């Protein structure tokens, strides 16, 4: 299947992206909304095409008993104000979504042209170490591109990026850019005191994904402290040959703008046509052998 068979978005020309490395105030949706709107005014003045915010950027991360209180449905006034601001620049922002059945999701909204056009629900919830996302959130069950007017974007939420099939499914959809919004803690110090160990781990993963999938990767992490945990920042842009094109400072809030070059993307894919030569049918056949009797289910991944 070719891109033209499933996508109305034209091939990427250039995309001017604003990375918003914010420090959300835990549980204070009103404050966080005003910060989003202020940054979106910056995006408009800078003529950005897209602004990307971190995971749960409208609510904060370690919500615990506040999770229910800050949850939003698609018609929520907070989301409506973000949507209105998206008339000037498209927006990817994080929030807690409540569905009709009352389930809560760690979600990313894609806002464009005055509308909430799509939602990605985090598939790979984290419940190890300091994390306990399955306590409050239901897991998403799909990876679908955000169809923008200027680009086809593959959304991921933090832990999604650490699981190979996530970005690979966007690769099969021929997205122009993979966007990963994160709330990743700062951990460890590199030998010689040169940076954070957690930042180094993220860089290795992001560069490998960009190189192997021949795509731009935009990573936006938050900063600040919650529950005694510090978040790392270090947001960055990686090009389709695996080079880091922009890196923001660790631990400090701020914004940065970078223009993704469509010619660079096409050149990388022409020189190394990995998507053209990919054989997903071999993967499908291998999964059928490795997981005999496995069938698609929304009830869990152990269905047989």
Given a cut of 60, is residue 3 above it in pLDDT? no
Confidence band (pLDDT; 50, 70, 90) for 189? low
Given a cut of 90, is residue 278 above it in pLDDT? yes
**Which CATH number applies to 13-290?**
3.60.110.10
Return the pLDDT at 190: 58
Torsion of CA 61, 98, 40, 114, to 10 degrees: 170
Contacts of 267 (CB under 8 A, 6+ apart): none
Percentage of the chain lying above the pLDDT 90 cut: 83
Listed by start position, the domains of the chain span: 13-290
How large is the average pLDDT for residues 252-258? Answer: 98
How large is the average pLDDT for residues 71-75? Answer: 95
Return the pLDDT at 196: 80
pTM, 2 dp: 0.93
């Amino acid at each position: 299947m070719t891109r033209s068979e499933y996508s109305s978005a034209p091939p990427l020309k250039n995309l001017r992206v604003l990375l918003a490395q914010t420090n959300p105030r835990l549980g204070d949706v009103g404050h966080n909304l005003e910060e989003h709107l202020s940054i979106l005014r910056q995006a408009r003045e800078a003529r950005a095409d897209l602004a990307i915010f971190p995971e749960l950027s409208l609510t904060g991360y370690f919500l615990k008993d506040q999770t229910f209180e800050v949850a939003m449905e698609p018609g929520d006034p907070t989301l409506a104000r973000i949507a209105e601001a998206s008339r000037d620049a498209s927006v990817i922002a994080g929030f807690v979504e409540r569905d009709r059945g009352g389930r809560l999701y760690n979600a990313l909204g894609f806002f464009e042209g005055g509308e909430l056009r799509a939602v990605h629900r985090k598939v790979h919830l984290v419940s190890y170490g300091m994390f306990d996302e399955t306590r409050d959130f239901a897991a998403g069950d799909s990876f679908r591109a955000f169809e923008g007017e200027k680009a086809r974007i593959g959304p991921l939420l933090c832990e999604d990026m650490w699981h190979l099939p996530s970005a690979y499914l966007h690769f099969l959809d021929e997205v122009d850019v993979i966007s990963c919004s994160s709330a990743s803690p700062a951990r460890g110090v590199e030998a010689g005191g040169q940076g954070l160990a957690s930042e180094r781990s993220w860089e290795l993963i992001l560069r490998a994904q960009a190189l192997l999938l021949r795509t731009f990767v935009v990573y936006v992490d938050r900063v600040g402290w919650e529950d005694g945990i510090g978040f790392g920042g270090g947001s960055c842009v990686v090009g389709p040959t695996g080079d880091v094109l922009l890196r923001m400072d660790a631990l400090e809030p701020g914004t940065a703008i970078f223009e993704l070059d469509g010619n660079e993307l096409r050149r990388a894919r022409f020189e190394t046509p990995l998507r053209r030569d990919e054989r997903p049918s071999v993967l499908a056949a291998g999964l059928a052998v490795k997981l005999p009797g496995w069938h698609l289910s929304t009830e869990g991944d152990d269905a047989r």
